[in-house]
Amino acid sequence: MAFTSGTVEFAHPSLPSPAQTWYRVYGDLSSSSSSSSSSSSSSSTQPPLVVLHGGPGYCHNYMLPLADLASPSSGEERPVVLYDQIGNGLSSHYPEKRGDATFWTVGLFLAELENLLAKLGIAGRQFDLLGHSWGGMLGAEFAVTRPTGLRRLILSNAPAAVSLWVDSVARLRSTLPQEVRDVLDRCEREDRLDSEEYEHATVEFLNRFGCRTQPWPADLIDSIVWTTEKDTTVASTMLGRSEFFVEGSLKDWTIVDRIARINVPTLLINGEYDEAQDSTLEPFFQAIDKVKWVTLAGAGHCAQFDARDKYLDVVKGFLQL
């Protein structure tokens, strides 16, 4: 599939020097329409879809299934924009900022998104936005500002508050086999969260509720390697050391009291076995005026792998409305 890759410079007051945000565009971004009408059957009029990856600390790789929407076989050839948030993947890294909660803020990532949209010529035109997990949290933060040009919003497997996420994960953890729970409890009690034993028990959880596709797809593994081995700065600072609780700078994050400001049609997606259980999405459903919610049978948190065809059909159908 045809794509173009590159970087855009991102300057921000908190940065010691301008960063580089790496991006990849599938399809022809220049051909997407700047018109307010998106109902034409011509593929050249389809607004671009900008994708926000999760983590924090992952990178674009595990969201690559969405590039299929730019394929001629999709029937619409919608431009799809993927990028790595700074501190992640192929964008600029700042390992010296490990543990600096005043640096790794939601505001920094929002400014980066706004900069990317401007540098790619998307700002001010019609575009759609899809955020997965943390990317959905970031997408919601962006949407409440009511940015010009945002046409449709997709919050995929994303919680409305970190406290709701932690509660959901705790309930799912209680369904694990007793021997797995015993390992997790013991390692946490002994502060051995970096042990191989704890890692293996965590993978048991993720096989059920993270990505149920076995073996895990290579694109997902690539993202995991980035955040767990190559550079753990963002994840360790914003989340912490465990899948089961948040001790980093996002621990008190919530958008529940601001959701009603989202004024564009919104699609909510989660999986039947998702870490983001229904309770984490419910505030979005209750507060957004024009909202649709789809739960994908048999899928976990990575529904783009676990129910790939259905996931893409749901996204495509929503964007075509």
Peptide bond into 18 cis (omega under 30): no
Euclidean distance between CA atoms 217 and 204, whole angstroms: 16
Euclidean distance between CA atoms 51 and 170, whole angstroms: 28
For residues 8 and 39, the answer to whether their CB atoms sit within 8 Å is no
pLDDT digits (tens, 9 = 90+) for 230-289: 999 999 999 999 999 999 999 999 999 999 999 999 999 999 999 999 999 999 999 999
For residues 29 and 79, the answer to whether their CB atoms sit within 8 Å is yes
- The SS3 call for residue 236 is helix
User: Sheet harboring 80-83: ordered strands across?
Assistant: 3-10, 19-26, 80-83, 49-52, 127-132, 150-156, 266-271, 291-296
Q: Give the structural domain span for 142.
A: 3-162+249-320
Quote the crossing angle between the two packed helices 196-209 and 162-173, to the nearest 10°: 100
Q: Is 298 a member of any domain? A: yes
Q: Is 66 a member of any domain? A: yes
Q: Is 215 a member of any domain? A: no
- Residues noted as catalytic: 133, 274, 301
- Percentage of the chain with pLDDT > 70? 94
Q: Is 100 a member of any domain? A: yes
Give the pTM: 0.94
- The SS3 call for residue 201 is helix
Q: Is 145 a member of any domain? A: yes
Q: Is 208 a member of any domain? A: no
pLDDT digits (tens, 9 = 90+) for 179-226: 999 999 999 999 999 999 999 999 999 999 999 999 999 999 999 999
Q: What is the CATH number of the domain that holds 42?
A: 3.40.50.1820
If one counts the domains in the chain, the total is: 1
Q: Is 48 a member of any domain? A: yes
Q: Is 242 a member of any domain? A: no
For residues 86 and 92, the answer to whether their CB atoms sit within 8 Å is yes
